A and B are shown apart, each in its own frame.
Chain A
Amino acid sequence: MTHFSLQDTLTFSPQFSCGVKISPKQEIQLHWGRYHQDLITIGTEEVILSMFDAWVTVPQYFPVMACTQYALSYQCEIRRHLELNASVFHKYFSNLVEYNTTKFSTLDPDFVNGTGMASGLELSLRGVLGPFQGWLSYTLSQVRKEVNGVRYPPKYDKPHDLDLIVNCRLSKKWSMGGRFVLSSGTPFTKIIAYSHQPFLSATNVIGCNEFPIYSERNAWRLPVYHRLDINFIKRFCMFSRPMEFYIDVANVYARLNVLAYTRDRQTWIQMPPLATLGIRGKLW
């Protein structure tokens, strides 16, 4: 139970989990829980690069945010050091509080509330396979928000998300690792056309404005995102202390992942290949 002083509300957040071993190496788990939160970040769906997230409490005139979660998972030890996990989940968010992006005048509220849902399937395989160790995970999901009567996928919605992390020991001193990410493009609101409209004041027509016509909110998706990062590590000793010399290379094959499209039809590309090298260790 939690008391939120601003809303003067006492919330009850029960959680229930149970598991059944159907064989020595297989287990099924069921989970249900209800959660509450009174902190939100001030940000909009359309902010491309968020330098920092400002956290504020939910305004007094809204109830605290609540989420109900259901999950069913299955675990299986395929063999020694190799484990498969599969789970399905569904979350329903009530009283989602969002920054009001259509606040035009001082009379409009700073925040509006809505609802949301997230459903999906998660698969993961982790363990050791020959000289490799790491994990492979895949998520199939759908996330939706409904605010001001508009239902849309939020900017972090990725229906398909594949993540592969592998580490490999090349020799006694050298090891390497890599991470490959493949995911659906994130949603954005596209300008689909331009048109002209007289600029009206209450008394007359005072000019002509070109204005963009947008698609439905977040109806479009950026191209598929994929990226490979690799790293090499060499272990050595210095002053009798274990040290590591490392080289990290992000976006190894310079995939031109799209960050955003600007209003003047330019395409902004995300990070180019980026190499970092250094030495790390404990000197004392």
Chain B
Amino acid sequence: MDSDAAIGDARDQGEIMVKRFLLLGISALFLLYGCPAGPPTGPDVDISCKLTMTSLLSSRDDTLYVYVSEWNKFSEHDRDFDYESIDNPYGDFWSVSGATVKIEVDGSSQLVEADTAKTPWQFYIHNWIYRYIVRSPEILPGQHWEISVTHPDYDSVFAETTIPDSVEFREFPQDTIRSDTGILRFSWNPADATEGYLPVLSFTAIRNDGMLYQREMLQEWNPEHRSGADTRSQKNCEIQYALASIMDQARLSIKHKNDLYPNPDSCECFYFQMDVFSMDDGLYHIELSPYRPDELSSFSVPVQMFSNVHNGSGVLAAYQRSSTPRIIIDREFFIDYIKEE
């Protein structure tokens, strides 16, 4: 009997302990209720002294521009922007003035001037109020360019690149270009002439190392461009968009010779010009950037913008353009093709 009583007492004490524990626990829950999370943790970077530098080296331009921007903590969309209080009338709060830009080409310095947009038109062309320019640069294949930017308030940045070589072209005998599929597609390889791919046998390009560009062009010639559904393409009257392709580090486009929308009834034949853009690594990556999976979705994959600028961000890019002799494409095919539409 005594042992039963002892067991009963122990059980009662246990239940009391449990109840006290529960009471304490429930009280603690009220203290913790709605407990906010703290800030995220990670390696902080002093962005106030960081710069972005971008420049495109093109032998076609008579002025070379170097754009220098600062890093901002907030997006321009986050800013409660007071346009009246800023110094400039155009809304550029990113460009940086007072920087020293040094450019060396194969070791020799170039004269760099600071430039300021003085009219809305000058601003809207480039979207930079302050920029740095080199007048009449001589940009030749094989040159090694180095650009450094220093500023008393920011970290120095540096980038370098080599102007790519242009490509050479080789002509091949012309072939009939026809298709029964109603879709105009080109192929570099004669073996792919089946399945609706049209062999471009009159032309191919070689690189300096002798390798042929023989990759397939899988893009279709989108009929929308020709029917006028895409107003942008109709405006410029170029037939280049759907055929543009990025291959290795070259971009290819096909343009109508006259830059006019072709009228098949008034044309004896069609002249196309192949442009091959030899790009350096920087421009190649920037060209790819529209295809990045980084869209404005919260679920998207964060992908770093390509940069070849050391100690900052941005890109120093260069290209060479090479044009082929004209290519004649069978007129009857086009007439039939357009009439079918």
A interface residues (Cβ-Cβ under 8 A, vs B): 44-49, 101-107, 130-131, 168, 170-171, 176, 185, 188-198, 200-205, 207-208, 210-217, 219-224, 228, 252-258, 260-265, 268
Contacts and interface: CB of A to CB of B under 8 A. Distances in A.
A196 B52 contact: yes
A263 B298 CA distance: 6
Interface in B274-312: 277, 279, 283, 286-289, 291-293, 296, 298-305
B173 interface: no
Contacts of A106: 218
Nearest to A260: B298
Contacts of B286: 200
30 contacts: A46-B299, A46-B300, A46-B302, A47-B299, A101-B293, A103-B293, A104-B289, A104-B291, A104-B292, A131-B17, A171-B15, A185-B41, A189-B302, A190-B40, A192-B45, A193-B47, A193-B71, A194-B71, A195-B69, A200-B54, A202-B279, A202-B287, A208-B127, A222-B40, A224-B37, A224-B38, A228-B29, A254-B35, A255-B37, A263-B298
A93 to B, nearest CB: 22
Interface of B: 14-15, 17-18, 22, 29-30, 32-43, 45, 47, 50, 52, 54, 56, 58, 60-61, 65, 67, 69-78, 94-95, 126-128, 218, 246, 251, 277, 279, 283, 286-289, 291-293, 296, 298-305, 313-315, 317, 319, 321
Contact of B277 (A102, A171, A202, A257): A202
Given A46-B301, A170-B18, A216 B43 contact: yes
Given A189-B302, A198-B127, A260-B298, A215 B45 contact: yes
B305 A105 contact: no
A105 B291 contact: yes
Nearest to B246: A105
A197 B305 contact: yes
Contacts of B305: 197, 211-213
Contact of A198 (B18, B22, B56, B58): B56
Contact of A194 (B75, B288, B289, B298): B75
Given A204-B58, A219-B42, A194 B33 contact: no
Contacts of B18: 131, 168, 170
Given A46-B300, A204-B61, A195 B72 contact: yes
A236 to B, nearest CB: 20
Contacts of A264: 75, 77-78
